[in-house]
């Protein structure tokens, strides 16, 4: 056999090996994509976004360790990243029909958060926190994205109260940096403005600026609705305090940028769903507890002690008045750890001895 024939024979052998590998990989691809479809269905049910950076990093680390040929590991990382990108693409397509409720009109910070979390979902605008929450309870929406706390103005009591009294689970937390801007009608100038309209929290976040300018304050249900009203009224003497997105959405001009006092202003949004998500046991998870203590001396101190004794670091502990019982309070707590592990089960069992009511509202990746 000549050199040329020998070379062709080796080439054909290599191609045969590739064909066999491709055949096996085609079957495995179908298997993987069917599983990815199941993941998408789970995420819709539990109100979870498609992209999970921590999970993908674990997949890459775990699978790369299986590659024995060191010269191929970098290529494999690229391969598995592309594979996961294809899976995400299919999941995005499946989740296009996901119904995501938020409070306010298009352009509100809740809408921005919902869009960032679920870019492929159908974003359903509802007039209030309660309406968005109840839309999920009734099955009209798959999940709701609602604010629970602002780093500058504190907790959003109405939503936290619904967490306590309602049936939905918190399956994710999203921190949205908040920037407030002075928005006016086309043609308006800074010297024209005599009054500003916005949500009470936005007005509070810009209090020093408003006082310095001597503006009269007008409240609105949310920042986006304030911008919409300014645009519709066409009054050059009235400006809205809202986001850059609302300026673009309603055709307003930005008269002044970043007028909020705190430059680290952030609003924390929770993803509410009917089904509880129980993530794999990994480091960095935080679970949310809500409870009332029995009316006996020292019960709150004992409850706090139980949580710490089982090794859970309590990051947050706050009290809220109970609407139906004057001078009585419930407690909101966040603790680091696995809420589905053995230690948590023992802790919750012992904690219940000191509580009149106790429930785990949800778990999220910190």
Among 286, 341, 33, which residue's Cα sits nearest to residue 175? Answer: 286
* pTM over the 0.75 mark: yes
Give the pLDDT confidence of 86-130 residue by residue, as tens digits.
Answer: 888 888 777 777 899 999 889 999 999 999 999 888 999 999 999
pLDDT at 132 over 90: yes
Assigned token pair, 219:
């409240």
DSSP strand pairing (99-103 vs 143-150) = parallel
At 283 the pLDDT is 57
Domain ranges of the chain: 18-95, 98-175+264-277, 181-259, 279-366
Mean pLDDT of 136-156: 92
Average pLDDT, the chain: 90
Q: How far apart are CA 10 and CA 164, in angstroms?
A: 70
Give the pLDDT confidence of 184-220 residue by residue, as tens digits.
Answer: 999 999 999 999 999 998 999 999 999 999 999 999 9
At 279 the pLDDT is 65
Assigned token pair, 150:
């602002």
Give the pLDDT confidence of 248-288 residue by residue, as tens digits.
Answer: 999 999 999 999 998 888 999 999 999 888 765 555 689 99
Give the pLDDT confidence of 158-167 residue by residue, as tens digits.
Answer: 999 999 999 9
Q: How far apart are CA 36 and CA 29, in angstroms?
A: 10
Mean pLDDT of 318-340: 87
291 close to 330: Cβ distance less than 8 angstroms:
yes
Please tell me the CATH code under which domain 98-175+264-277 is placed: 3.40.190.10
Which helix (H) or strand (E) segment holds residue 205: the answer is helix 200-205
At 97 the pLDDT is 76
Mean pLDDT of 135-145: 95
Question: Quick check: helix, strand or coil at residue 41?
Answer: helix
pLDDT at 53 over 90: no
**Angle, alpha carbons 12-13-15 (nearest 5°):** 60
Phi first, then psi, for residue 127 (nearest 5°) are -75, -15
pLDDT at 3 over 90: no
Q: Give the chain's radius of gyration (CA, Å).
A: 26
Q: Does the domain formed by 181-259 have CATH 3.40.190.10?
A: yes
Q: Does the domain formed by 279-366 have CATH 3.30.500.10?
A: no
At 11 the pLDDT is 85
At 77 the pLDDT is 92
Tell me the CA distances in angstroms from 184 to 112, 211, 239, 258, 273, one per residue in order: 21, 18, 5, 14, 38
Q: How far apart are CA 274 and CA 320, in angstroms?
A: 24
Please tell me the CATH code under which domain 18-95 is placed: 1.20.59.10
Give the pLDDT confidence of 31-52 residue by residue, as tens digits.
Answer: 998 888 888 888 888 888 888 8
Which helix (H) or strand (E) segment holds residue 317: the answer is strand 313-321
At 282 the pLDDT is 53
Let me know if the fold of 181-259 is the same as that of 279-366: no
């Amino acid at each position: 056999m000549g050199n040329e024939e020998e070379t062709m024979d080796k080439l054909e052998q290599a191609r045969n090996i590739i064909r066999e590998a491709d055949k096996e990989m085609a079957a495995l691809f179908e298997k993987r994509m069917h599983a990815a479809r199941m993941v998408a269905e789970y995420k819709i049910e539990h109100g979870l976004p498609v992209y999970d950076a921590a999970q993908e990093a674990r997949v890459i680390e775990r699978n790369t360790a299986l590659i024995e040929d060191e010269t191929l590991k970098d290529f494999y990382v690229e391969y598995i990243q592309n594979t996961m990108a294809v899976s995400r693409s299919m999941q995005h397509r499946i989740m296009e029909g996901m119904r995501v409720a938020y409070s306010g009109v298009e352009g509100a910070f809740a809408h921005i958060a919902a869009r960032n979390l679920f870019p492929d979902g159908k974003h359903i605008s509802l007039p209030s926190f309660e309406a968005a929450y109840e839309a999920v309870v009734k099955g009209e929406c798959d999940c709701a994205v609602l604010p629970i706390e602002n780093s500058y103005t504190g907790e959003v009591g109405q939503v936290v109260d619904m967490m306590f009294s309602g049936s939905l689970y918190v399956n994710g937390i999203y921190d949205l940096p908040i920037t407030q801007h002075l928005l006016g009608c086309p043609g308006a100038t800074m010297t024209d403005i005599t009054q500003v309209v916005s949500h009470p929290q936005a007005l509070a976040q810009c209090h020093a600026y408003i006082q310095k300018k001597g503006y009269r304050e007008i409240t609105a249900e949310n920042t986006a609705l304030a911008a919409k009203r300014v645009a519709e009224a066409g009054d050059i003497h009235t400006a809205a305090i809202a986001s850059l997105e609302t300026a673009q959405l309603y055709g307003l001009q930005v008269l002044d940028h970043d007028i909020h006092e705190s430059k680290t202003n952030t609003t924390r949004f929770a993803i509410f769903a009917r089904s509880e998500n129980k993530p794999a046991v990994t480091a960095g998870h935080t679970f949310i507890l809500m409870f009332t203590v029995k009316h006996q001396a020292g019960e709150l101190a004992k409850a706090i002690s139980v949580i710490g004794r089982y090794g859970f670091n309590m990051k947050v502990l706050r009290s809220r008045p109970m609407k139906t019982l004057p001078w009585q309070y419930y407690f909101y707590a966040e603790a680091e750890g696995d809420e589905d592990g053995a230690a948590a089960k023992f802790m919750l069992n012992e904690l219940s001895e000191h509580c009149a009511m106790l429930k785990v509202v949800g778990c999220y990746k910190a």
